[in-house]
Structure 1
């Protein structure tokens, strides 16, 4: 156990030191693939488990190629690079026992966030030498998730005789922005799955605690909006211009004026506005980055439809063109109580204080696409949360976890694999 815990911490700190954004997890995924293949798992990688036409908000070729160079120079396992170099970095690792039994899938995510990590000397990654080398950082615990997935793989390989059926480990790219899951669902990653379990660390759950089914995720849509007008001299010929900046500014104000819905929680936010090229130039371009959320998919659709109407109206008002690109999406889903009860029992047996169900708001998650797909084929799905002490909240420059929770997560998930494949 001490050896496995040490490996978990080493993996987590290595991933933390070398974070990669969504669809760019080339170093991470090749290291993961190498560990899994060494353990004896059957691997499917990249386009084998991802539908290119469903990768939302994927970086362009120039960004992808630049990161490929970085990954090769910073420890990526060359053996697998050709399979992930285009940015299709998902992995499905399967352990088939050859004995009758259900197919169980565990999903973890791998991507980091565009946040510059704190350099404060009191920050543990600074003290212990694993602060991010990049301008990005793991500020949501995905480095821990990936390590837990590898730890679970070790337990499966070492205890293969205790299992039946098949166990699949899904290492998903681009969870941030709700972009990566749908591509793996559309590629058939869970078509044969009877039970699906997604895992997160933290999210307000205390150290030594466990939530077997978190149902607080909001459906969401992430949209990039571009307004295209006509530039002109602001002093000499203002009437010849079509002001994209004014259209964008009008949209920002009125997006936030969308009436909320009596059917449940709804959200909207404009996170970024970029416009203009000079103080004496009528702005011919403007870009908004916005998101909507809803307690259910229907409520999110309401917000999204209203937002599209506001954007169209602002464009018409200022006689500019516009386009809306959907760059991320998550649906609503509810966990299967029967499956949550089993996880709840495993957590308690592992010495954790556990609860079966929580409806506490937890942002949005595209693992809901996996959950929905499995439940639609009469399977069971849940989203569990492993409690941990946090140095700061999620998506904060000082984010850090208590590494004690890594082994707790592995032990609880492995115990569920034993129970489910023998049920």
Structure 2
């Protein structure tokens, strides 16, 4: 398959999204451009609250932040015909093409969000050298979601161009807020995959070499992202220390005890206290403290065990120091169990590609956490099949690093393999 023009478009899209990164639930510019392209290609669009349950959006920015970013998006290239659909921060899109021929419903998920990282300006950093480095301080596509969004548009282009050769229905899901595992659950609760027979999520990189493909990655850990706040009572540290209730000590005690949670005999666990903020002055008993915590486990049950221990420790620390506490889950992801029925199709397509040197059917290597697992679990629960595949790419630096960059040859490779999988799956009855 020769797609020189598409290869150029993929790079153009990817570099544009890279230059204008948007973090979770703020992907307004990105989503408006994606929607405009999908509409032109003839897909039926569902957007915003139609594909996201507001009650299940975790860690969503407040109204002030959302409104400020809306104005930024309007001023920085958002498509004006579509931006209003995403103005409240519900930035999901589901694009459907119905062939009006008997066949299954096949869905592909692509995430769109960036990270709160300041991108490198070193001369050797390709985005800086080539002029598409992030224009925003402290925001960067440092995980490849700009590539994923572009791959989704490339797949849409091939599907639209060859729709007469397809059967059934094809759904392309563009998801916000994968970072922090916050966005997928809201789309699942809005029933966007309730009719899906085959589901495929994908990622570039994750330790897979250039020109290699992993058709089923089962290495994702279940996770919970938890914000915990403690509220005590301030007092003069020299004059009346006994009249204060120390929220900082409660948070510190909680942090130390969380780090000592017993491991689980049935699989790996993780616990990390990434942030602790407390107090307002050296001579004031701290009346407030906040922790940002994440738990992980080999399975959802093991992660639940760690999460419950965190909750118990927070209660105990608050009681010990006579302070109030609040615990909020701001992100979650499930463990992953790919379906060989659909992974084998990806594997076959990769083996048939003259651009791929090696394809692995299944890997259990650790790959962090992913909320695409909510989609996968829902599809499998309804009798369908789901997999998470990885397209290898040469990385300039690791994921979530200020010098992260990919080999853009991977874009077309991924599009072609996903399109070939769509051809094979849509023909299954």
Deviation by residue 1:130-169 (Cα, 9 ceiling, x = unmatched): 0000120000000000000000000000011110000000
Give the 3-state SS of the residue equivalent to 1:214 in structure 2: coil
- 1:277 is aligned to 280
Give the 3-state SS of the residue equivalent to 1:116 in structure 2: coil
Q: 1:48 aligns with which of 47, 50, 55?
A: 50
- 1:80 is aligned to 82
Give the 3-state SS of the residue equivalent to 2:223 in structure 1: strand
**Is 1:218 aligned to residue 227 of structure 2?**
no
Q: 2:379 aligns with which of 362, 367, 374?
A: 374
**1:8-407 matches, cutoff 5 A:** 8-135=10-137, 136-351=139-354, 352=356, 353-407=358-412
How far apart, in 1, do the equivalents of 2:240 and 2:130 lie?
Answer: 60
**Is 1:2 aligned to residue 4 of structure 2?**
yes
How far apart, in 2, do the equivalents of 1:271 and 1:133 lie?
Answer: 27
Q: CA deviation at 1:109?
A: 0.1
Deviation by residue 1:52-93 (Cα, 9 ceiling, x = unmatched): 000000000000000000000000011111110000000000
Q: What is the TM-score when the length of structure 1 is the normalising length?
A: 1.00
Q: CA deviation at 1:121?
A: 0.6
How far apart, in 1, do the equivalents of 2:187 and 2:261 lie?
Answer: 33
How far apart, in 1, do the equivalents of 2:323 and 2:266 lie?
Answer: 35
Q: CA deviation at 1:333?
A: 2.3
| Aligned residue pair count | 423
- 1:413 is aligned to 418
How far apart, in 1, do the equivalents of 2:353 and 2:88 lie?
Answer: 41
Give the 3-state SS of the residue equivalent to 1:210 in structure 2: strand
Give the 3-state SS of the residue equivalent to 1:43 in structure 2: strand
How far apart, in 2, do the equivalents of 1:183 and 1:329 lie?
Answer: 11
How far apart, in 2, do the equivalents of 1:121 and 1:246 lie?
Answer: 45
Runs of 4+ with >4 A deviation: none
Q: What is the TM-score when the length of structure 2 is the normalising length?
A: 0.98
How far apart, in 1, do the equivalents of 2:399 and 2:165 lie?
Answer: 36
Deviation by residue 1:318-353 (Cα, 9 ceiling, x = unmatched): 110001001000111200011111110001111311
Give the 3-state SS of the residue equivalent to 2:142 in structure 1: coil
How far apart, in 2, do the equivalents of 1:283 and 1:350 lie?
Answer: 61
Q: Which runs of 5+ in 2 are unaligned?
A: none
Give the 3-state SS of the residue equivalent to 2:264 in structure 1: coil
Deviation by residue 1:269-300 (Cα, 9 ceiling, x = unmatched): 00000001011111000000000000000000
